[in-house]
A and B are shown apart, each in its own frame.
Chain A
Amino acid sequence: MHVSTKKWLFTKISSLILLPLMTWFIINFVSIYDGNYSEVAIFFTQQPSKIIFSVFIVFAFFFSALTISEIFEDYIQDEKIKNVANKLLNIFAIIMPLITILGIFNLTI
């Protein structure tokens, strides 16, 4: 399979998975964002919200890395700058969810 076909398939599969996760997250975010420390901490530490949120951010950063690289393709002319931007984007898309998941799994109330 061609690398572009793989990229397209991964984008579509991740977007399909993200649709219910985004809906679930935004409704829950509205219910907790103005709450006190305990209310917010309970959301991030208790199941099933902890595991669903973890899955949500993994797919969100994976999807964003794939789609933002398409924006770089359209707007960055210089190949070197584009490669550096894509590498930074991929590193960010791995590190950010990883740190967050480690953080919320170490969070106790």
Chain B
Amino acid sequence: MPNEKTLVLVYNLFMQYKNNPLSPHLQIYKWQISSLLSIAHRIVGVINILAITAICIWSLLLLLGIESYQPINFFLNTFFGKFIAVSLCWTFSFHILNELRHLIWDLGYGFDLKVSKITGVLALIGSFVFAVLFYLLGKNIF
């Protein structure tokens, strides 16, 4: 029969294992452009696939016919509908630019810390510029 000390030690070891921080240790790292973009890239990627899933469901709802589509059409023409479209322009453009940055790294370029920071800032600022461009192109404003 193990004594109390042993039980406490086993319990502490178990809790230590359970509380072992997982990658990428968000609570420890100091925030900087590289970590910010890396985390944002993942979050935006998840948002994008959720949005694409919603778009797939949207396309399937067309099968229900013109009358069933009226509430969806009404919602998409409200402020929230436009907000979703504009937001998706940004999430898509951010993901495109940051993915391009990742592909350039994979080719072996842009690893220098200074260059990496510059491309990070460019991807972030460029995502807003591209979001506006995508929206204007979509609305045939050019």
Contact = CB atoms under 8 A, between A and B. Distances in A.
* B59, B84, B93: residue with the most chain A Cβ atoms closer than 10 Å: B59
Contact of B24 (A28, A60, A74, A76): A74
Given A29-B88, A37-B73, A75-B22, A19 B60 contact: no
A107 B62 contact: yes
Secondary structure of the B contact surface, majority rule: helix
A9 B116 CA distance: 23
Interface string B103-141: 100100000000000000000000000000011011110
A64 B69 CA distance: 29
Contacts of A33: 76, 81, 84-85
Contacts of B92: 22-23, 25-26
B3 interface: no
A83 interface: no
Interface residues of B, number: 43
A57 B88 CA distance: 16
A86 to B, nearest CB: 15
Contact of A34 (B23, B24, B76, B93): B76
Contacts of A107: 59, 62-63
A99 B60 contact: yes
Contact of A37 (B62, B85, B102, B137): B62
B35 interface: no
Interface of B: 20, 22-24, 42, 45-46, 48-49, 52-53, 55-56, 59-60, 62-63, 66, 69, 73, 76-77, 81-82, 84-85, 88-89, 92-93, 95-96, 99-100, 102-103, 106, 134-135, 137-140
Q: Ordered nearest first, which 5 A-B pairs have the shortest CB separation?
A: A30-B138, A100-B56, A64-B49, A26-B92, A74-B23
